[in-house]
Structure 1
């Protein structure tokens, strides 16, 4: 790579690179239509139906988790409509980083991209822990060897090629959805309203059978309600590998969100309602615990065995697809110079192999803690920061660039994104109520990444990167105009 010029724009320095730079940083074009994109959106999230959400029962009881889930369903639905518009305007592999970059400049772009990266690097680690719990229930074997095996196999599949990976992911997701439907049907005969409220009320303010941990329990349950939907926002990261992204990204996002809303409602009602909230609130494999509880089938049956075996597909689907997401986020940030540039190198099959391996190694190390609930909090911390910045980007771009081409427009406009923004701020604070120290660790990581940007990478950005090029040209033209 040869440096031909440096452009100073809005507190950052952009280096012009030669064509060979991008020849080694190319993704495979046109690999996904809207059906695959919708499947990708569901795959990102579907593991949240199999494990993770139930920890919210231990924070807010069923009533607290219900209210928290309704609030987060509202936030995600409003945000998805906002992201549908943004992705149709700015269809690049940077996703949320690209949106915030356009709205708030390089600082906003980096802070958003880093938050998404934190979310997507940690979420697979949490899912790996839950995979270990399900394999332990199924074959009596779990722990770190299982975590390592899954990382090696599924990072390896992504290294082979994106088209193959997305198609396999779609099949796995369809199988996982079948397991959820079998679970719902099997639990309906055992449903009892009393089971929902079997957690004894505490002496907290506002405590009752509906809210056993009081009003504050609603807030504390929010990070686990988020687990029903976390990562749907990753669909725009597939922009450069999608067919007709301006049309298919919005459609894939919205269809995927509708499917997730249905699954969340079913699982939240029939799981605790069939087995009892107290029975599954601390389980690493709540669907199996529910089926085998005394209130349901009282032990191992072919149904629990089926859901256990096939249910692994749900965890695998999210694990598999979020590996895709983190690699594309690292790729985009690295290609633009925000992260070390070697991370965006692609191989002969046009897959970002270093961006797959490095975060995967970090995720495996985190999974060794075995603390799935605490890893969820770390992922949610990064996610909520990105949600705040992405929804704010929608509002700013609507105000600042009203004439920008918008192939899809958000119903309700800035009112919709404003609702998502307010609820994202509420969700951001919620993590501190559960375990402030875990969120503090995530914040330290975020601070170190921000320091890297301010002291180094903002002076070495790449002018021709897709997310940066428009702004560099616009600023340069404005400066030339001013000189004239």
Structure 2
């Protein structure tokens, strides 16, 4: 039966599609760091292939500044929008239906692609044990189990993520201590001998920004859990800020230990750089620890990706930007179970391609586009709601500098993708343009425009100038 257009009326089903408020700062940390930490076990090292060893660490710190600005912006806006969807929910109130549709779609593909990359790395590391190992059954089984866990409830999902993320993070420092870096006489690290500086000069640093983002990609997803926080204004800022500090420390440590244990040429091509660094030590307990750490980091990331992508898809459906069938929550577990189940085969399908760098690149491209629009939203948010007009759980200092920095560095990172991946950029733009045309000329007539102002009308004052 053909779906009929909906005009300015709110369905009872939409009203009932609410998620449980059960999360605290620990769970937000587990969500943000859990998704991102896998980037320290794989993917970041492609910065060395594009910019050399020094280019990689410079890119790491420059992108760290980008994410500090991003997290400040996300936390300020997200702390006053207690809805699922993160940046999508922000765009809904500040940019309108078409832009919010694109932001939501970009978020979904950012996390679905990252989940596929996690599956690819799990397969590669299992094959490293024995080339005859059939990794595919283990990959599918892992994703099925994580999907089932997400289906059953967010509290248990992110509590598990906290523990497996913490264990994976600790293994990085087991590797660091195992190199005896603190004792120059017996240290295994050979930074001077194994690094290659800046082989492509400053252009290489710009090119390296593309994969430098992998050190932090996904931390912004904490905003997607805003609706499920017991206290959004507390859990979101605390969990996200502590998570970002965790990642900056972990990223710098990862570069240091990997660059001192594996030659730049090999490191720039590695599928699992920390594990290769562990192999270079020749110490069985370190090798075992990093094998476990890599697997756990991939599982934590995939677990968080299932959570975040499903919340974005669920929020879009609840607001009628996509068919409302995905807006249903489980009658017992109160999870967006249809969105969770729908996105699983899509992620597995991308994992089947086996093209790790291509999958990573589309995830990064989608994320960068969200960052650019987030900077725009910050300018509009401060214009609509100046300080003092609305209660904020967190206020980003030095406005507009964070938004300016975010915009400049996001565009620079997009420019860095041109070196080697210009086809991917054009393909990404084409995909989102076609999606926008579909939405504008087909889907928009079904959109319930009331949903875009419903929450704001209840909890916010009238914006300045509206």
TM-score, scaled to structure 2? 0.91
Aligned to 1:354: 338
Aligned to 1:39: 30
The CA distance in 2 between the partners of 1:320 and 1:177, in whole Å, is 16
Aligned to 1:388: 372
**How far does the alpha carbon of each residue in 1:4-57 deviate from its partner, in whole angstroms, 9 at most, with x for none?**
996xxxxxxx5313324433x2322x2211121112111110100111111111
Deviation at residue 86 of structure 1 after TM alignment: 0.6
1:113 to 80, 84, 104: 104
TM-score, scaled to structure 1? 0.88
The CA distance in 2 between the partners of 1:469 and 1:21, in whole Å, is 11
Aligned to 1:156: 148
2:90 to 99, 103, 123: 99
Structure 1 stretches of 4+ moved >6 Å: 471-474
The CA distance in 2 between the partners of 1:310 and 1:288, in whole Å, is 9
Aligned to 1:244: 231
Contact 1:72 1:222 in 2 (8 A): yes
Would you say 1:216 and 2:190 are equivalent positions? Answer: no
Contact 2:33 2:165 in 1 (8 A): yes
Aligned to 2:10: 17
1:376 to 360, 381, 390: 360
The CA distance in 2 between the partners of 1:226 and 1:35, in whole Å, is 24
The CA distance in 2 between the partners of 1:472 and 1:176, in whole Å, is 43
Would you say 1:272 and 2:282 are equivalent positions? Answer: no
Deviation at residue 279 of structure 1 after TM alignment: 2.6
Aligned to 1:443: 429
Change (3 A) 1:197 1:34: same
Change (3 A) 1:21 1:91: closer
1:453 to 439, 449, 457: 439
Alignment of 1:37-116 (within 5 A): 37-116=28-107
Contact 1:130 1:285 in 2 (8 A): yes
- Other structure's SS at 2:95 match: helix
- Other structure's SS at 2:40 match: helix
419-428 or 398-407, which deviates more: 398-407
Contact 1:87 1:250 in 2 (8 A): no
Would you say 1:407 and 2:393 are equivalent positions? Answer: yes
The CA distance in 2 between the partners of 1:471 and 1:446, in whole Å, is 28
- Other structure's SS at 1:16 match: coil
- Other structure's SS at 1:53 match: coil
Would you say 1:181 and 2:173 are equivalent positions? Answer: yes
The CA distance in 2 between the partners of 1:472 and 1:449, in whole Å, is 29
Note the aligned Cα RMSD (angstroms). Answer: 2.3
Deviation at residue 69 of structure 1 after TM alignment: 1.3
1:316 to 299, 304, 314: 299
The CA distance in 2 between the partners of 1:231 and 1:270, in whole Å, is 23
Contact 2:116 2:347 in 1 (8 A): yes
Aligned to 1:167: 159
The CA distance in 2 between the partners of 1:393 and 1:445, in whole Å, is 23
Aligned to 1:9: none
Deviation at residue 143 of structure 1 after TM alignment: 4.1
Contact 2:191 2:259 in 1 (8 A): no
The CA distance in 1 between the partners of 2:207 and 2:272, in whole Å, is 21
The CA distance in 2 between the partners of 1:429 and 1:342, in whole Å, is 38
**How far does the alpha carbon of each residue in 1:283-341 deviate from its partner, in whole angstroms, 9 at most, with x for none?**
11111212223xx43xx723112211233111111111111000000000111011221
Contact 2:315 2:327 in 1 (8 A): yes
**How far does the alpha carbon of each residue in 1:268-294 deviate from its partner, in whole angstroms, 9 at most, with x for none?**
11111222222321111111212223x
Alignment of 1:126-137 (within 5 A): 126-137=117-128
Q: Which runs of 5+ in 1 are unaligned?
A: 7-13, 199-209
Q: Which runs of 5+ in 2 are unaligned?
A: 182-186
Aligned to 1:469: 454
Aligned to 1:190: 188
- Other structure's SS at 1:292 match: helix
Change (3 A) 1:196 1:399: farther
Aligned length: 450
The CA distance in 1 between the partners of 2:344 and 2:148, in whole Å, is 11
Change (3 A) 1:5 1:455: closer
Contact 2:57 2:252 in 1 (8 A): no
The CA distance in 1 between the partners of 2:260 and 2:147, in whole Å, is 37
Aligned to 1:423: 409
306-315 or 228-237, which deviates more: 306-315
Change (3 A) 1:89 1:152: same
**How far does the alpha carbon of each residue in 1:336-371 deviate from its partner, in whole angstroms, 9 at most, with x for none?**
011221122222211112211222211111111111
